[in-house]
Structure 1
Amino acid sequence: MSYKNILIEKEHTVATITINRPEKLNALNKLTIQELHHAFSELEQNQDTRAIILTGSGEKAFVAGADIAEFARFSVEEGVQLAAQGQDTLFNFVENLRVPVIAAINGFALGGGLELAMACHIRVASDTAKMGLPEVSLGIIPGYGGTQRLPQLIGKGRALEMILSAGMVTAEEAYRTGLVNYVVAQEELLPYCNEIAQKIIKNSPAAIGMAINAVNANYKEGENGFETEIKSFGKCFGTVDFKEGTKAFLEKRKAVFTGE
């Protein structure tokens, strides 16, 4: 499929998705959300994809928010539908992807942009990046999971301060509070994310997918994270990866995982 607003590059088993709307600071509109969903879905279904890096074009913005012009005149019902569809199509979809997604935050990550970064499994920021949820300054609240994921990452008090003040934090502040895993120089951002990806792809894709599911279960209403972990642990014993991993360990060699 050809895309209008995103670019995809693949080097061996690591894919990089670049949101490519520099004239709009890579703002998320409906088409971009749909394209991202399709790209993530296709990459997940491709067994050769072991890790995905997500970034924005240029050095100004990862994603500077949602495209406000698209919903400025929405009704209550349309607003509900916008948030529900967006969460289902992209944000929750990314969070529950079996393939690890690393957000390379190369500039402003605001509103929906920060919400997208938070839906990723790992976040790395350039030292020039700034992050925030400015929605209340527009008379709305974060609608793509921001009110839920931000407190999970940095705690309720800090999350409320960020959301209610509509303020931005620097990359260093984001690192200090646990919002991002690492902060690096802009020119080191993608290489550093690739280093993390290289560590991940050495391991069992089957086990990685189950680990992501088990961690996420702790934050889902009606799910018991411990029970999910126990069941997922048991399922691992039925995989080809488990047999290969244990056999390689006993034979003192590197395992060759297939994800089966």
Structure 2
Amino acid sequence: MQVDERQCLVETKDKVLMITINRPPMNTLSRQTLLDIEKVLNEAENDNGIRAVLISGAGEKMFSAGADITEFGSMGDKEEGNKTLIRMHELFNRIENYPKPVIACINGKALGGGNELQMACHLVVAADSAELGLPEVRLGIIPGYGGTQRLPRLIGRRRALELMLSGDRISAEKALEYGLVNRVVPAEKVREEAFNLAARLASGAPLAIKGILDSVYRGSEQDLEAGLAVERENSLAVSGSEDAIEGVTAFFSKRPPEFKGK
């Protein structure tokens, strides 16, 4: 996978694709950074050798400080600004709707677009030293990469409004209390813990995992009956698969299953 290593580092280990935002010290999300992430995700989607994705930031203090403000000049042009925002919304939607688990490893501060990026991921492991926030209001702008929509859905409208209207940051422990992250671990262990979680998911049944992700994200945006229809669709799609047969056979044989994504 060819990317600009000044923007992203890419490595695969134990069926986990590791993407590291490599723009220290702030790990800002330039357009090229985001295009590289998109390119890597596109190439990995149909690669059965990759079963999970892990996104982190280079260094120990910053997951990502968000958008590269040196690129804000074009935002004054409404037409160009609209194209940019649509592109970013499409990418973050792509991450949210990705058929393989995407885990964010928040190794430091996740601010602005960096926070919006982790909100688009499926699961989040944060260092105990991490801070999360959407400080855009302090620059006279609003979160534009999906924050105004995802944050209320994740933690509730009133908590989300307080954070966005004030621009305040919250600690990793508060983010855990709010349900914004899944786990908080010592900073020196955050990469190990996040990788172990990704590797565990990568060993699971790919078709079943894809069905669960689709059922949750597509179904939960609809009423219960429509959501149950999505669940039935995915259940029927996987129930006759080779993996389902392998899972049941392995269970009765008292051995670990060997899922192939078929």
TM-score after normalising by structure 1: 0.94
Q: Which residue in the other structure is 1:7 paired with?
A: 9
What CA distance in whole angstroms lies between the structure 2 residues aligned with 1:46 and 1:65? 29
User: When the two structures are aligned, how many residues end up with a matched partner?
Assistant: 258
Structure 1 residues 104, 83: CA separation in 2 closer, same or farther (over 3 Å shift)?
Answer: same
Structure 1's unaligned 5+ residue stretches are: none
Q: Partners of 2:65 and 2:229 in 1: how far apart?
A: 38
1:20 to 22, 46, 60: 22
Q: Residue 21 of structure 1: SS of its match in structure 2? A: coil
Equivalent AA in structure 1 for residue 57 of structure 2:
G
Q: What does residue 219 of structure 2 align with?
A: 218
Once the two structures are superposed, residues 54-91 of structure 1 have per-residue CA deviations (whole angstroms, 9 ceiling, x without a partner) of: 10000121010101121234222222221111111x21
TM-score for both structures, normalised by structure 2: 0.93
CA shift digits 1:72-124 (9 cap, x unpaired): 34222222221111111x21111111110110001111111001001111001
Letter in 2 for 1:191: E
Map 1:68-107 onto structure 2 (within 5 A): 68-74=69-75, 75-88=77-90, 90-107=91-108
- Per the alignment, residue 66 of structure 1 pairs with 67
In the TM superposition, 1:136-215 aligns within 5 A as: 136-215=137-216
Q: Residue by residue, what CA displacement relative to the aligned partner does 1:210-243 show, whole Å, maximum 9, x if unpaired?
A: 1101110134469932211111111112321111
Residue 125 of structure 1 is matched in structure 2 by 126
Letter in 2 for 1:213: D
Unmatched tracts of structure 2, length 5 or more: none
Post-superposition shift, 1:180? 0.6
Following the alignment from structure 1 to structure 2, what is the Cα–Cα distance between the partners of residues 73 and 15? 33
Deviations 1:113-136 (A, max 9, x none): 001001111001111111111112
Counterpart of 1:241 (choices 233, 243, 246) is: 243
Structure 1 vs Structure 2: percent identity of aligned residues? 44
Given the alignment, which residue of 216, 227, 230 partners 1:228?
Answer: 230
Q: Which moved more, 1:98-107 or 1:215-224?
A: 215-224
RMSD: 1.6
